[in-house]
Amino acid sequence: MAHPWRGDTPLADRRYAQDTTSITEPGRPLRILMSFDKGYHQSGWFANSEWEQNLHLSFSHPRTEKPQLIVPGNVHGVKPGQLGYELETVSDAEARLWGEIIYGPENAKMAWFEPAAGVFDSYRNPNVVHLRLFYDENMQPFMPEGEPYTLKPWGDGSSPEKVYGRNRAT
């Protein structure tokens, strides 16, 4: 949390990653990325101001026996030409168990579960499951109300113009 990630650049820094093994399938490789994401509303990405910052966990099963050369567009956050691995999707149960371990059982109940994207999703990596625990301005975990793209500006009127849309009255 001391080093928030804005979410507008690739998260390729290995200090955010932990390679371990699966809980539900002992011995199977598991990669966890953990970042404190900040600026989702401020940047205009999410219209709902309650979705501004979150502790973000990403999970995948790297197939270490299947290395692959990364080409442009096939893995977010990794430089083209770098060696990587094929990934497989973790189960919902695996992601939720890690959420309970990292967030704690009570906070894990508030975490937003985002299933893995398909191969044709140009914004997210395929085979990566996400859990996000949102934090308010006082750094307390909470469950946001509404959806990320539902307009809910900051009460002080300082939300970026982008979240109001083109038809905002001036």
CB 129 within 8 A of CB 114: yes
Query: What span, in angstroms and rounded, lies between the C-alpha atoms of 140 and 129?
Result: 24
* pLDDT for the residue 133: 97
CB 87 within 8 A of CB 64: no
* pLDDT for the residue 170: 43
pLDDT of 106-137, one tens digit each? 999 999 999 998 777 767 778 899 999 999 98
Tell me which DSSP letter residue 115 carries.
P
Q: Say which residues have a Cβ less than 8 Å from residue 22's Cβ, sequence separation at least 6.
A: 28, 29, 30, 61, 90, 94
Q: Is the pLDDT of residue 158 over 60?
A: yes
pLDDT of 67-105, one tens digit each? 666 554 544 455 556 666 788 999 999 999 999 999 999
Q: How confident is the model at residue 138 (pLDDT cuts 50, 70, 90)?
A: very high
Name the β-bridge partners of 86. 63
* pLDDT for the residue 82: 64
For the chain, give every domain's residue range. 14-152
